[in-house]
């Protein structure tokens, strides 16, 4: 079979599209003929060598995608050849055939295209647990969303709006501001340099209905963590779930005590631990797509053979939607 592989860490130029042996059927797994593959920043980090990779070269990236089952392994129940499935956490997805553990296979309804499933699952499941588990968003809440034009940011914004919240987004440029507004944000501020107390933190407090600050800030940047605390009100919450801008500063627990503010962390795989979790939460996302309350923007779709170009586009941070690889 064909796959996108690399033998050494480095830039997009290390990626090669070549023949490798097909994965062997195994008990508890299903063999999936891939139709669409989601590209994520974790793939960039693994290619560079920032994330640990087990085994020996050639390495295969990719954890998210959708396709059709070709073979069902021993002991698998409820799945059969010909079924459409999707997944968000099965390795080696950048290939024509992928062995997917049955407990991670999510049934894909006929009315949800493969490309849409590969675009929404990882980021959509992240947005889902953030607004239901990390901080349960309620009608009337005022929510600050970092990187509001990004994949998770746009989905967070849309899901918060369906709950009746007011959403203030943060982006790094005017074009990205427009994207965040299109996703439904009530207002969008631009990041800027303002010393220890950036202008956006004060602007966020001023924008809140009573001038006291936001109920919650979803921070995926990391280096902005203390500014997020400045933007939320007394008894407000900061949800830290990413470090796109660098490591976060240390937080003084006395500040939390003095302000009665809450800091909570978030990692998707602590919230999705069973196949039932995956199916239930994915079903919610599929229904939101079906009802038109959730929109997923696809920035570009590249043939798997042109994976290097797809990596360059994602790495440039010029794209604001999901990038797909098509075998």
What residue segments make up the domains of the chain, in order of their start? 2-120+272-326, 139-265
As a whole number of Å, the end-to-end CA separation of the chain is: 11
For the whole model, what pTM was predicted? Answer: 0.92
- In whole angstroms, what is the distance from residue 31 CA to residue 309 CA? 27
Instruction: Tell me the average pLDDT across 27-41.
Output: 96
What kind of fold does domain 139-265 have according to CATH?
Rossmann fold (3.40.50)
Which pLDDT value is given to residue 93?
98
Q: What is the pLDDT of residues 197-216, one digit of tens each?
A: 468 999 999 999 999 999 99
| Same fold? 2-120+272-326, 139-265 | no
Cα 215 to chain center, whole Å?
A: 23
Which pLDDT value is given to residue 195?
38
Confidence of residue 28 (pLDDT cuts 50, 70, 90): very high
Bin 122: left if φ > 0, else alpha if -120 < ψ < 50, else beta: alpha
* Host H or E run for residue 228: helix 225-231
Which pLDDT value is given to residue 324?
97
Q: Which is more confidently placed, 127 or 41?
A: 127
Instruction: Tell me the average pLDDT across 125-154.
Output: 96
Confidence of residue 194 (pLDDT cuts 50, 70, 90): very low
- In whole angstroms, what is the distance from residue 154 CA to residue 303 CA? 25
Instruction: Tell me the average pLDDT across 286-293.
Output: 95
Q: What is the pLDDT of residues 157-193, one digit of tens each?
A: 999 999 999 999 999 888 899 999 999 999 999 997 4
Q: Which is more confidently placed, 5 or 242?
A: 5
Instruction: Tell me the average pLDDT across 284-291.
Output: 96
Confidence of residue 196 (pLDDT cuts 50, 70, 90): very low
CB 59 within 8 A of CB 73: no
How far, in Å, are 42, 43, 266 from residue 147 at the CA level?
A: 17, 19, 16
Burial class (CB in 10 A: 0-12, 13-18, 19+), 110: exposed
How far, in Å, are 55, 67, 248, 250, 293 from residue 158 at the CA level?
A: 39, 27, 26, 31, 7
Q: What is the DSSP string of 147-212?
A: TTTSHHHHHHHHHHHHTT-EEEEEESSHHHHHHHHHTT-SEEEE----TTS-HHHHHHHHHSTTSS
Instruction: Tell me the average pLDDT across 11-27.
Output: 95
The CATH code belonging to domain 2-120+272-326 is: 3.90.180.10
> In the predicted model, what is the mean pLDDT of the chain?
94
- In whole angstroms, what is the distance from residue 121 CA to residue 78 CA? 21
CA-based R_g, the chain, Å = 20
CB 302 within 8 A of CB 10: no
> Nearest to residue 12, comparing CAs of 287, 253, 312?
312
Q: What is the pLDDT of residues 214-224, one digit of tens each?
A: 999 999 998 99
CB 307 within 8 A of CB 327: no
């Amino acid at each position: 079979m064909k796959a996108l592989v690399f033998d050494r860490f480095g830039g997009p130029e290390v990626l090669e599209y070549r023949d490798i042996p097909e994965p062997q059927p195994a008990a508890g797994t299903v063999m999936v003929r891939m139709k669409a593959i989601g590209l994520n920043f974790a793939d960039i980090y693994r290619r560079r060598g920032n994330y640990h990779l087990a085994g020996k070269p050639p390495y295969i990236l990719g954890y998210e995608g959708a396709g059709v089952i070709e073979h069902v392994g021993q002991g698998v129940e409820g799945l059969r050849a010909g079924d459409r499935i999707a997944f968000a956490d099965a390795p080696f997805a950048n290939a024509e055939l992928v062995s997917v553990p049955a407990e991670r296979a999510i049934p894909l309804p006929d009315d949800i295209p493969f490309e849409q499933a590969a675009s929404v699952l990882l980021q959509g499941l992240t947005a889902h647990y953030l607004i239901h588990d990390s901080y349960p968003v309620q009608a009337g809440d005022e929510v600050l969303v970092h990187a509001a034009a990004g994949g998770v940011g746009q989905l967070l914004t849309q899901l918060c709006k369906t709950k009746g919240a007011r959403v203030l987004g943060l982006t790094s440029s005017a074009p990205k501001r427009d994207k965040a507004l299109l996703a439904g944000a009530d207002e969008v501020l631009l990041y800027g340099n303002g010393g220890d107390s950036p202008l956006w933190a004060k602007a966020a407090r001023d924008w809140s209905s009573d001038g006291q600050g936001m109920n919650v800030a979803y921070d995926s940047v990391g280096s902005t963590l203390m500014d997020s605390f400045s933007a939320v009100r007394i008894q407000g919450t900061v949800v830290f779930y990413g470090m796109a801008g660098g490591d976060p500063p240390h937080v003084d627990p006395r500040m939390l005590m003095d302000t009665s503010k809450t800091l909570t962390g978030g990692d998707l795989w602590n919230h999705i631990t069973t196949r039932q979790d995956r199916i239930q939460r994915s079903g919610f996302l599929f229904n939101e797509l079906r009802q038109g309350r959730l929109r997923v923007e696809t920035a570009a779709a590249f043939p798997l053979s042109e994976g290097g170009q797809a990596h360059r586009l994602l790495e440039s941070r010029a794209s604001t939607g999901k990038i797909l690889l098509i075998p």
